[in-house]
């Protein structure tokens, strides 16, 4: 199997690449090669198969990013929520033109005689929904986005489903929950604080909480999201029919639940969390639904979520030391 | 008011232009100018205001198509269903890049100091839904398109809603039913036969019916669609919130109902309708839902549909002679 990861330098891209390197297989089949593509060429990684690292603009996708013989494309490249809100043209270019470029690359594989359409695993987002704190949405809920990022993700889902129907690819779109706990530094996602309120105190740093403690959010851990993405790469897609989008089974938790779990893992850590209401951030994340009745994805083999305490312990085990090192902390 | 009609040379574009020329007003306000844009410059028309006719590629929209000072844009330009299915790149270019060009033109008006965002009235389509003969969809039903045209229309709706939220425009998207009776000749829309089974017999010509008599279809007349489009140009949009798309109140009728109404208007005319099943056509139109519980649009002032016999009589009154002349018939 030949795999490409677009957005291979990003947080989830690196997690998926590391898991593939660890197992050497996908869906029980040996991996023959991995291409990692991002704006700047991602760093390589030790793996039991050759790894090629490519940098470039996804809207003018280099052939090497999805080379002839590619079986699976993880399309994770995106301009995130606050950034797409700040720069409309950039969001459109990366999130929509980039998706068109992925479609065209897959069409190229078919035209060149690929035995079957490549599997494309796309990360959509709960930011493509609205409704706010009062809403718990069913699997067939309409996407009525309240931000440009969510709009571009929802539109891209439609384009990928159509490309699948036409035989250009075999797409699975996962509307990922807010991922906690993200390593590294705060980023331009409006949801960045959901990770910061755990990560920063564990680094001994103060951080700001812009929403009330009873704010509900639909979350998933990096471990669970990585597992879902790899499952989507190998699952049987025939039963999906025209509808290639799934709401994987995250967890609806309150900010206060996250803080309570943090205090169990590291007593007193939440003393570093300062309540500083931010109406701009609250306005964006407050438009997302509180949760989903995610029944379809588990029927297609997507695993249920582990508890919050496990999520925080996994961050300590998997990412805390690397985050500390990345940020030049002792 | 300065009005632009993109797709001004098409069937509905000409109907809207003719109605504006007849009334000289829109929403009770005097019309100052009209721009008609299409692939080839549309013919002019007699009107109590200046009319400019422009030809060009909507994906590279000339400034004159939406000139400074434009208050209302009717965005009706599209590559229709069978054509978008036959040529993916053309459908994407016109139906998606064209919509982006409309958004950018409206951004240009704002940047140039427009007092308020231009109203954009967009024709989406029931082809953006699926479900087939068994489905009667509610207003909040998800669009899961079964063809590229419907996909591009649904994605364009999302882009226009986001552009509205951002203050670039003030969009209303109408998911038009299948329009019957269209004048002229059969075209590349898969739904072309729904008009042909009335129009061709009224011209004394044989025509083919590719689906069974009990096939259900969601229809609207040209008079009703024109009225809806003009209502959408002047309605109060504040109550729409984020959701700028409406299912106007068409009618769910069976093909047999259309033929029965035809025989009332012109006795024996249906003898010219030959049953010739076509699995390709049936496959496309068979994916569209049989009808909608359209409750939201009437609450926003969209008028209810008139009966089928009136629809056929209106075709005879409005379009039959012109169709006969266009086609060089005595």
Contacts of B141 in chain A (CB under 8 A): 142
Query: Residue B31 — very low, low, confident or very high, per pLDDT cuts 50/70/90?
Result: very high
Please check whether residue B80 is in contact with residue B142, taking contact to mean a CB–CB distance below 8 angstroms. Answer: no
Arithmetic mean of pLDDT over chain B: 96
Kindly report the three-state secondary structure assignment for every residue of A71-103: CEEEECCCCCHHHHHHCHHHHHHHHHHHHHHHH
3-state secondary structure of A30: strand
Give pLDDT tens digits for A90-128.
999 999 999 999 999 999 999 999 999 999 999 999 999
Instruction: Give me the CATH topology for the region B78-326.
Output: Rossmann fold (3.40.50)
Average pLDDT over residues B305-313: 97
Q: Which residues of A52-71 are buried (b: 16+ CB within 10 A; e: fewer)?
A: bbbeeebbebbeebbbeebb
What's the DSSP call for residue A8? T
Query: Residue B194 — very low, low, confident or very high, per pLDDT cuts 50/70/90?
Result: very high
Strand partners, B119: B72, B170
Average pLDDT over residues B136-162: 97
Given a cut of 80, whether residue A330 has pLDDT beyond it is no
Average pLDDT over residues A141-169: 97
| Beta pairing class for A25-26 and A29-30 | antiparallel
Please check whether residue B49 is in contact with residue B32, taking contact to mean a CB–CB distance below 8 angstroms. Answer: yes
3-state secondary structure of B248: coil
| Beta pairing class for A207-209 and A273-275 | parallel
The question of whether B88 is a catalytic residue gets the answer no
CA dihedral over B325, B305, B282, B146, signed as positive or negative: positive
Given a cut of 80, whether residue B330 has pLDDT beyond it is no
Contacts of A154 in chain B (CB under 8 A): 158
Query: What was the pLDDT predicted at B82?
Result: 85
Please check whether residue A79 is in contact with residue A91, taking contact to mean a CB–CB distance below 8 angstroms. Answer: yes
CA dihedral over B240, A176, B175, B10, signed as positive or negative: positive
Which of A59, A98, A158, A167 should we substitute to test contact with B (largest number of B Cβ atoms within 10 Å)? A158
Query: Residue B53 — very low, low, confident or very high, per pLDDT cuts 50/70/90?
Result: very high
Residue of chain A whose alpha carbon sits nearest to that of B104 = A89
Q: Please give the helix or strand (H or E) that residue A218 lies within, else none.
A: strand A216-220
Q: Which residues of B54-80 are buried (b: 16+ CB within 10 A; e: fewer)?
A: beeebbebbeebbbeebbbbbbbbbbb
* Alpha helix (H) residue ranges in A112-242: 148-165, 192-202, 222-234
Given a cut of 80, whether residue B120 has pLDDT beyond it is yes
The ipTM is 0.95
Average pLDDT over residues B3-25: 97
Distance CA A142, CA A161 (A): 15
Query: What was the pLDDT predicted at A195?
Result: 97
Give pLDDT tens digits for B199-258.
999 999 999 999 999 999 999 999 999 999 999 999 999 999 999 999 999 999 999 999
Cα A46 to the center of its chain, rounded Å: 23
Query: What was the pLDDT predicted at B80?
Result: 87
Query: What was the pLDDT predicted at B190?
Result: 84
Arithmetic mean of pLDDT over chain A: 96
- Tell me which of 3.40.50.720, 3.30.70.2660, 1.10.630.10, 1.10.3720.10 is the CATH number of domain A78-325: 3.40.50.720
Contacts of B101 in chain A (CB under 8 A): none
* Alpha helix (H) residue ranges in B24-94: 81-86, 88-91
Which of B137, B149, B155 should we substitute to test contact with A (largest number of A Cβ atoms within 10 Å)? B155
* Apex B321 CA angle, B320 and B325, nearest 5: 115
Query: What was the pLDDT predicted at A21?
Result: 98
Given a cut of 80, whether residue B188 has pLDDT beyond it is no
């Amino acid at each position: 199997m030949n795999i490409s990861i677009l957005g291979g330098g990003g947080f989830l891209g690196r997690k998926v690449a590391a898991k593939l390197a660890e197992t050497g297989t996908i869906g029980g089949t040996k991996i023959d090669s991995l291409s990692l593509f991002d704006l700047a060429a991602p760093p390589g990684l030790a793996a039991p198969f050759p790894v090629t690292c490519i940098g470039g603009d996804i809207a003018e996708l280099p052939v090497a990013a999805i080379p002839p013989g590619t079986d699976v494309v993880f399309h994770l490249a995106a301009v995130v929520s606050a950034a797409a809100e700040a720069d409309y043209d950039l969001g459109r270019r990366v999130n929509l033109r980039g998706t068109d470029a992925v479609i065209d690359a897959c069409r190229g594989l078919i035209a060149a005689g690929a035995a079957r359409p490549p599997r494309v695993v796309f990360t959509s987002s709960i930011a493509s929904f609205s409704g706010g704190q009062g809403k718990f949405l069913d699997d067939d809920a309409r996407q009525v986005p309240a931000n440009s990022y969510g709009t571009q993700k929802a539109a891209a889902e439609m384009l990928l489903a159509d490309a699948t129907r036409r035989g250009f690819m075999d797409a699975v779109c996962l509307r990922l929950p807010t991922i906690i706990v993200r390593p590294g530094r705060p980023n331009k996602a409006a949801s960045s604080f959901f990770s910061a309120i755990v990560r920063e105190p564990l680094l001994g740093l103060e951080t700001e909480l812009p929403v009330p403690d009873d704010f509900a959010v639909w979350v998933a851990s990096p471990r669970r999201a990585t597992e879902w993405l790899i499952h989507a790469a190998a699952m049987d897609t025939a039963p999906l029919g025209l509808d290639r989008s799934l709401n994987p089974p995250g967890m609806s938790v309150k900010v206060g639940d996250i803080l309570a779990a943090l205090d169990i893992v590291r007593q007193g850590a939440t003393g570093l969390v300062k309540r500083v209401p931010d109406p701009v951030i609250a306005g964006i994340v407050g438009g997302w639904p509180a949760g989903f009745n995610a029944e379809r994805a588990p029927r297609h083999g997507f695993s249920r979520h582990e508890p919050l305490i496990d999520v925080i312990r996994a961050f300590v085990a998997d990412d805390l030391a690397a985050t500390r090192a990345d940020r030049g902390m002792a």
